[in-house]
Every structure is written in structure tokens, then in C-alpha cells.
Amino acid sequence: MNFLDIDLQLTDHEREVRDTAHRFAAEVTRPASIALDKLPPDQVIAPASPMWEVFRKAYQMGFHTNALPAELGGQGLTPREQYLVAEEMGWGSADFAIAIGVAAFPYVFAALWGNPELFETYVKPFVGDTEAKMIGCWAITDPEHGSDQLLVGTPEFTDPRIQPQVRARRDGDQWIISGQKSAWVSNGTIATHALTFLGTDPARGFAGSGVAIVPLDLPGVSKGKPLDKLGQRALNQGEIFFDEVRVARNHMMVEPENFEVIVDAILALANASMGATFTGVARAAFEEALAYTRVRVQGGKRLCEHQLIQAKLFEMFTKVEAARALSRAAFLYNSQTLPPRTEYSIAAKTFCTQAAYEVASAAVQLHGGYGLSKEYVIEKIFRDARAALIEDGTNEVLGLHGGRVIAARYGNS
């Protein structure tokens, strides 16, 4: 790797973890992501698709257990090591970085908030999976709801007129689940299990929700078609439908009494991870631009020898380093602090995704006409970066939520 990491506190082991992730990203995820970008969505998930080989290799390397401590069978990575892996995976391809991360979500949640029976049923087999037979998804977004489902503490969150579109009702020792999740469920049409957010107490609005792990081979579960998207095309996304689906009572890991605390913690974790991932995307875009300007000749000399180009490269470089500093600080702090300071994760997500988009856009411009050509990876990086301004909460809505938190927390200080 040519991009300097100015963190002088990195240990030899942390550098080894980082370099291993970088090699995997360079040799496995990026080439596959580029190949899958050219395919229609149904072919991306076809049995012979390279997507499955990427998942298998990721599981064999243990990347699916990065977030699990060693005592639970995971890699036992420190928060700093988890950050380094996330940045490198984002550098390789945003779509696979997200897909592999989300694949672990239901099992990590069951390990941390579930019960011993769920651990034996789901977590242990997942930890030992080397063939990617168990793939998770995060089923939160409804057709009529998106970023608003994350806004804990707002009047709308507790408004009984605003309801989740997937609901569950108790029937003895079971929960019966009905409703639809939107087409934006990452890994939605390939997942075997869903970490499902659903309403259980209509009188409390979204605050009356729960979180359940739902096997997606149960009677009553069906899936829509994979979504055809502008970017991140190797990341499968699609609808999930629940029609009177029955799960055991212990599959509901969170009920309304703890739901708002859990949502806030998940938002902090997800946004911090997005900041790390898209710092990697910004870095990838900068490196592509720098490499191109060092070989492309215009006006009798290389582009990088023109002052205007040098100024643009320095501006891009600064954005990458600022994104890395903020995202790493937020990730490390909120990985080790309960309750988390969610405003810092939101700041990291919104700043780093915007930086990735701006750096990728500038990189396209520096490529000139070639930046518009699918023969150059920067065209794909640009589209992938654009999607990040919307996913995991739109930047505008997240910014409003972050501002509300800041006003409430610091307003009287």
C-alpha cells in the first residue's frame, strides 16, 4: 500500500490485520465487484455467480466473525483492528464491504443480546460456517418508512399514527409476523436469516417495536426480485414479505422497553462503520486519480505537473485524511463506550460519505472523458459513493437528528 497511515500507535499486529484485509480487497472483492457491476441483478445472485465465491472466501478468512469476541468464537479483533479492516474493505469495494458486514448482523446481535438457546441454534453454526451457507440481513426499512425509523427521541417516533409496516402479535409461546420490508434490505433476497425490526405495541408508534431473528425458510416468508440500482450493484438488495410467519417467543430478542436504547446503539454502530467504509472509498478514488494524473500527458507534460491539478489533488488528499481522522475517532470511541455518543457516528457517516462522493467526483473530472467510461474503475467508484448519501439514513435526516441531539445535550452547558 502506498497511502501512508499517520497513526504512530499502530502495532505490528494491527498492521498485519490491515495488510491482510487490503490484500483480500485487492485480490478478491474489487475484481469481483467490477465484474458483477456489469451484470443484471438476477445474474449477480445466480448460482454460478462470482458473488458466492467472494462470500465463501470471506468466511474462510474469518471476516464474517470480525465483530465477535474470541470467547464467542470470533476473530477477537480490537476496535482499532475492526476499523482498519472496514476501511480496507471499503477501499476494495463498497458493495462487498457492506454485504459481508451485514451478513453477520443477525448472529452478532443474537450473540450479544440473545439467549443461550439462540446462541446454540444460530451463532455457533454461523461462526463455524466456511461455505457462506448462513447469510444475514438487516430488515428495518419499510416501504413507507426509511430514515425516520432511526429518529429516537423525536415526537414522530412515539406517535401512534405512525406505524411500522411489519408487525408481530403474541400467540402463546409464539410470535406471528406479518407485513413487508422494502426493497432496500441489504442481502435481502439471498439471506437465510433476518434481524427484523417490527411493531409489537401499536399504541406507542415506532417506540413500541421489537427486534427478532427470523429464519427466512419458514412458511409464510417470500422475497421480491433483486433491486436494479445505480451503484453498489454487487450488494444484493430486495423486498421480504411476511405472511403469518410464526417464530418461537425467544426469537424476539428486544421488546419495546429496551427498543429505543437498542436503536440508538445500532445507529451509532452502523454510522461509525459507514464512516470507516467510505473513508476507504474516498481513498480509493484519490489513488485512482493520482495514478491517472501521473501517466496522462496533456500540454506537453503529465497532468500531475500542472499546478491546477496539484491543487485539486491536495484538496482531495485533505478530505481523505480528514475523513479518516473523524471516522476513526468516532469508531473507536463508540465501540468502547455505552451508551454511545451517536452524534459523533452521525458526523462520521455524513462527513465521510460526502467526502467520498466529492473526491470521487473530482477524480472523474481529472480523468476527463475517460472518467465517464466503464473501462475505468473510477466510474464505478463514483456511482458507489453516490449511493452512500442515502443508505443507512439519508445525510440530511441524519444531520437533523444529530443537530437535535447536540442541542439537547449541550444546550445548557
Nearest to 331 by CA among 33, 90, 92: 90
Per-residue pLDDT of the chain (413 residues; tens, 9 = 90+): 467 888 888 999 999 999 999 999 999 999 999 999 999 999 999 999 999 999 999 999 999 999 999 999 999 999 999 999 999 999 999 999 999 999 999 999 999 998 999 999 999 999 999 999 999 999 999 999 988 888 888 888 999 999 999 999 999 999 999 999 999 999 999 999 999 999 999 999 999 999 999 999 999 999 999 999 999 999 999 999 999 999 999 999 999 999 999 999 999 999 999 999 999 999 999 999 999 999 999 999 999 999 999 999 999 999 999 999 999 999 999 999 989 999 999 999 999 999 999 999 999 999 999 999 999 999 999 999 999 999 999 999 999 999 999 998 886 65
- Give residue 146's pLDDT: 86
29 with 102, same domain: the answer is yes
Please calculate the CA angle 236-239-245 and round it to the nearest 5 degrees. 125
- Give residue 278's pLDDT: 98
Would 277 be classed as within a structural domain?
yes
Among the candidates 200, 230, 256, a domain finishes at: 256
Nine cell digits for residue 397: 435526516
Cα of first residue to Cα of last residue in the chain, in angstroms, is 45
- Give residue 25's pLDDT: 98
Would 3 be classed as within a structural domain?
no
Q: CATH number of the domain that 199 lies in?
A: 2.40.110.10
155 with 167, same domain: the answer is yes
399 with 280, same domain: the answer is yes
64 with 203, same domain: the answer is no
394 with 268, same domain: the answer is yes
Nearest to 221 by CA among 204, 243, 239, 199: 243
Q: CATH number of the domain that 311 lies in?
A: 1.20.140.10
- Give residue 1's pLDDT: 46
CA-to-CA distance for 26 and 134, rounded, in angstroms? 25
Residue carrying the nine cell digits 499546478: 307
272 with 188, same domain: the answer is no
CA-to-CA distance for 388 and 356, rounded, in angstroms? 9
Q: CATH number of the domain that 63 lies in?
A: 1.10.540.10
CB 319 within 8 A of CB 359: yes
400 with 292, same domain: the answer is yes
193 with 275, same domain: the answer is no
214 with 232, same domain: the answer is yes
Please calculate the CA angle 134-137-142 and round it to the nearest 5 degrees. 155
Please enumerate in sequence order all residues whose Cβ is within 8 A of that of 258, keeping only pairs 6 or more positions apart, or say none: none
Domain boundaries, position 221: 136-256
Would 373 be classed as within a structural domain?
yes
Among the candidates 231, 256, 281, a domain finishes at: 256
122 with 141, same domain: the answer is no
Would 68 be classed as within a structural domain?
yes
Would 7 be classed as within a structural domain?
no
What residue spans of 212-341 are helical by DSSP H? 256-293, 307-334
Domain count, the chain: 3
Which residues lie across from 168 on neighbouring strands?
177
DSSP character at residue 244:
E
Number of other CB atoms surrounding residue 2 within 10 Å: 6
The SS3 assignment for 331 reads: helix
Would 1 be classed as within a structural domain?
no
- Give residue 17's pLDDT: 97
CA-to-CA distance for 295 and 288, rounded, in angstroms? 11
- Give residue 411's pLDDT: 65
CA-to-CA distance for 136 and 125, rounded, in angstroms? 13
CB 255 within 8 A of CB 175: no
CA dihedral 343, 349, 352, 356 (to 10 degrees): -160
Among the candidates 73, 106, 127, a domain finishes at: 127
44 with 59, same domain: the answer is yes
Could you tell me the pTM of the whole model?
A: 0.96
178 with 288, same domain: the answer is no
Question: Beta 136-139 vs 193-199: how paired, if at all?
Answer: parallel
